[in-house]
Amino acid sequence: MGSDIYQDTLYGQLVPSGWDNETVSELVLLVDGEEEFCIEKDEFSKLLTNYIDRWITVQAVVTETDDDMSIKILGYNLEDEMQYGTDDAW
């Protein structure tokens, strides 16, 4: 049983995959509507629970094993937020 570890940029939707009572305890990044990358629990994953069902681009370290794929997020950018700058920059 081997594993591949590499750094990549991924685009997908944040989806809850585990619950503790009524609180989200685990997240996955759903890529292309089918590939699920489990998000390792750390400071970024805690922040990301505020953005469930949002589209996001993440810079991450990906670990692929025979059983699953997981990511450790290094940085992220919400893709469905409007950023206009000043009133003159429409």
Q: Summarize pLDDT for 2-19 with one digit per residue, the tens.
A: 789 999 999 999 999 888
The whole-model pTM stands at 0.80
How many angstroms separate the Cα of 61 from the Cα of each of 3, 8, 70, 90? Answer: 13, 6, 8, 35
Nearest of 36, 34, 75, 33 to residue 56 by alpha carbon: 75
Tens digits of per-residue pLDDT, 66-82?
999 999 999 999 986 65
